[in-house]
Amino acid sequence: MSLVWKLLRQHISALQFIGFFMANLLGMLIVLLAFQFYQDVRPVFAQGDGIINNDYLIVSKHISIMGGSSTFSSSEVDDLSNQPFTKCVGAFTASQYHVACSMGIEGVANFGTQMYFESVPDQFVDTDHSQWHFQPGDDWVPIIIPRSYLAIYNFGYAQSRSLPKVSESVISMIDMTVILRGNAREQYMRGRVVGFTSRLNTILVPESFMEWSNREFAPDADVSPTRLIVEVGNPTDDAIARYVQQHGYDIDEDKLAAGKTTYFLKVVSGVIMGVGLLISALSFFILMLSIYLLVQKNTVKLQNLLLIGYSPTRVSLPYQLLTMGMNALVLMFALLLLSWLRGYYMNMLWAMFPTMEDHTMWAAYLLGGSLFMLVSLLNVIAIRRKVMTCLRAH
């Protein structure tokens, strides 16, 4: 053991260092946990969507028991298109015939349901356009389904039948048979899920398919739209709210809600990280204070070491290594605790969002490493300065 260390470790207070260790560990853990949690949860709110990411609103007519038309006439659509806040308007077209669908694994159908299709103009659909097309004569049709349907399957159906849960990538590979009935005809087609949406509660097919199928299976039906999709410049524009209110329309504010949730998540994570940083800063002061006390108590020893020819660098080194060692230990424990806690909450998150991707902890390692470097650097500088004051004092 170095004689210098043997001298300078005199008066080290284990209690003060344990205090620092606990406080710094708590601070570091809170900072890293808030950061990592934000990293892990954010994608849930920002996952890719089959619908264009621009600002848009879904407008429908207010439904009441008094009756009245729930479809938009072409003059109403034109009027909405001509509003200054509107960039463009697309109509939802609904299928006017019977649709049934069954899904199976390895050719055995085990999940069937009645359903319906809707379409919007292709420009509103944000998916691989090489897959999003249909020509009469094709025997398969691309489909975008709501994510909630996947949840219904995973948590309702699969759970009760002990079937495997499926992810988004798996469902795209599942056979789906679509049966179209109407106009005294019936046709079997294959369906393939090419995308998911969290924003529209409907099953989308390409507009070209809708036109063809309505013509084939329900040639006489009225195809006036019941909902419109409106791309707007600024969804918070007051004029939109006034217009919608005057005409007795409803708008779907789902997108706004997702935005608010993300914002809220950011604020909460920010506040928690702030608290963590504050605790870290306080623990930093505890450490500095105990090191200062230590230097103060060992002033005579430090002075004598400097007088017999030890350099300030050499004399500072034991305390610098001590603090850096403590910081490194704190970082290590914080990361260990973090990965343990993360395992715990990730299990809960996966139960809620089975399709969520697993992110690594690299960002947290980087943040922890940066904090460690910063704090250690400040420690090293402060200790050196404190030792230099000893030099001047003798």
Partner 1 sequence: MDTIHLQHTLPEVFASRDEIRSDVWLKDVRFERGHLYLVEANSGTGKSSLCSFVYGYRHDYQGIITFDTQDIRRLSIADWTHIRQRHLSLLFQELRLFPELTAMENVEIKNRLTGFKKRKEILDWFDQFGISDKVDTPVALMSFGQQQRVAMMRALAQPFDFLLVDEPISHLDDANSRTMADIMMEEATRQGAAVIVTSIGKHMELHYDQILRL
| Of 280 and 316, CB closest to partner 1 | 316
**Minimum distance of partner 1 from residue 383's CB (angstroms):** 16
- Tell which positions 349-388 bind partner 1, by CB under 8 A: 388
| Of 326 and 387, CB closest to partner 1 | 387
Residue 271 binds to partner 1 (criterion: CB under 8 A): no
| Of 259 and 312, CB closest to partner 1 | 312
Size of the site for partner 1 (CB under 8 A): 18
| Of 265 and 380, CB closest to partner 1 | 380
| Of 26 and 383, CB closest to partner 1 | 383
Interface map 3-22 toward partner 1 (x if CB under 8 A): xx-xx--x------------
Interface map 298-337 toward partner 1 (x if CB under 8 A): ---x--xxxxxxxxx-------------------------
**Minimum distance of partner 1 from residue 307's CB (angstroms):** 6
| Of 308 and 351, CB closest to partner 1 | 308
Under 8 Å between Cβ of 87 and 170: no
Interface map 149-188 toward partner 1 (x if CB under 8 A): ----------------------------------------
Q: In what order do the strands lie in the sheet with 175-182?
A: 108-115, 98-105, 175-182, 185-197, 140-146
**Minimum distance of partner 1 from residue 311's CB (angstroms):** 4
**Minimum distance of partner 1 from residue 330's CB (angstroms):** 30
| Of 67 and 309, CB closest to partner 1 | 309
Interface segment toward partner 1; rule CB under 8 A; list 1-9, 135-143, 153-161, 282-290: 1-9
**Minimum distance of partner 1 from residue 30's CB (angstroms):** 40
| Of 158 and 388, CB closest to partner 1 | 388
Q: Applying CB under 8 A, which residues contact partner 1?
A: 3-4, 6-7, 10, 301, 304-312, 388, 391, 394
